[in-house]
Amino acid sequence: MPTKSTFSTHRTHIAGVPVPELARRFGTPSYIYDAAKIVERVNDLKQFEVVRYAQKACSNIAILDLVRRHGVLVDAVSAGEIRRALAAGYPLHPAKHGDPHPIVYTADIFDRESLSLVVEQDIHCNCGSPDMIDQLGEAAPGREITLRINPGFGHGHSQKTNTGGEQSKHGIWHEQLADALRRADHRGLAVTGLHLHIGSGTDLEHLSQVCGAMERLAREVGRSLTTISAGGGLPVPYRAEQNYVDIDVYYKLWDASRKRLEDAFGHRLTLELEPGRYLVAESGYLVAEIRAVKKMGGNTFYVVDAGFNNLARPILYGAYHPMSICPADGSSAADRPTHDVVIGGPLCESGDIFTQEEGGFVATRKLPAAGVGDYLVIEVAGAYGAVMASNYNSKPLAAEVLIADGNAEPIRARQTFEDLIRGERIP
């Protein structure tokens, strides 16, 4: 696996296909995914015996099908995500008794729909609140469950992606584990799994703190455990100077914890990893067309046809995405002079800026000179991109395209106006 990332501000192709050809065939804005990149990331993690994709990062059924064919299992956080997993060919139950569950439902609540679905279909549940234990136990006593514990600390690339500590709503508070175990006992549920996930886009140092917490908590649960899950949170580089985490070091830390617990329990434990971002972020490109170039005092704006309705990470977290320019004729922008520009979208909302920092401060980006008709490619956009899209300003959801072996296939049609108003009526 690579150690350092590199990004360029000029680009002519995505996964071997010319950008203007993609724009002509599928329109703009469109999400383009490079299948080979996803497979490469799956292979980085092959030391972990179970890789369970947190599909909320990018849940198109073609992406789910791709990771499924490469041996990856799946996590679902809603009834809709369970149905997506089934639509993508995941089986309800393991082929052999004792094999890991193909689909796990992880959440802090059961809404009424998800509770009936997991009960009817016998989906394994990772319970993130004491109430979930009670509700599942009442509806389906005798099941095996996993507990998601908030270890009392967390970390994330933004406060909004921190999923541990007192300010997080996620998981069962670590000091209430004994109470959770009593509730499970009382309802006839066997606790076979323990799960910790402290945040998204955290660094190795923070991720490894979780191992110690897992060992302590797992000993408290005891010998009923057969699976421990390290959660997700593996970061990817979004800027040129950022490094990849050392997966080998990370695996060894977890494997050592697992082995100590196996010795204590006298039986094997399955170690799961639950990445979302890591598998898909770098595969995704949001291709937009520059539709206006204007000066506002000292600032030059490139205004493109994609907005935060397509990619919300900048407005939500001040997230930084690498960007590149592809001239309309498909030539290279490498020889063009570069300028500091602001990239804005089409929405009637001043926060619709792709070059912003946390807190909404407008920043500039050094990009090759470009004009109307040239393409802006927003990169590393595969995770928490298309899935967070909205219809704000009555913009249709963008097309999604998967490129494998040089072939670009549509995996989601751009919404039509009829799609937009489906379900609305004038009484």
Ligand X SMILES: *Cc1c(COP(=O)(O)O)cnc(C)c1O
Residues within the interface to ligand X (CB under 6 A): 54, 56-57, 106, 197, 200-201, 231-234, 274-278, 383
Inter-residue contact 367 to 325 (CB < 8 Å): yes
Rounded least distance, CB 326 to ligand X, Å: 28
Rounded least distance, CB 239 to ligand X, Å: 17
Rounded least distance, CB 134 to ligand X, Å: 21
- Residue with smaller CB distance to ligand X, 197 or 395: 197
Rounded least distance, CB 189 to ligand X, Å: 19
Among candidate residues 125, 211, 326, 348, the one labeled active-site is 348
- Residue with smaller CB distance to ligand X, 61 or 273: 273
C-alpha closest to that of 272 among 242, 213, 227:
227
- Residue with smaller CB distance to ligand X, 57 or 342: 57
- Residue with smaller CB distance to ligand X, 54 or 88: 54
The token duo for 264 is: 């204590």
Q: Is 58 a catalytic residue?
A: no
- Residue with smaller CB distance to ligand X, 234 or 253: 234
Rounded least distance, CB 193 to ligand X, Å: 12
- Residue with smaller CB distance to ligand X, 234 or 315: 234
Rounded least distance, CB 72 to ligand X, Å: 13
> What are the catalytic residues?
348
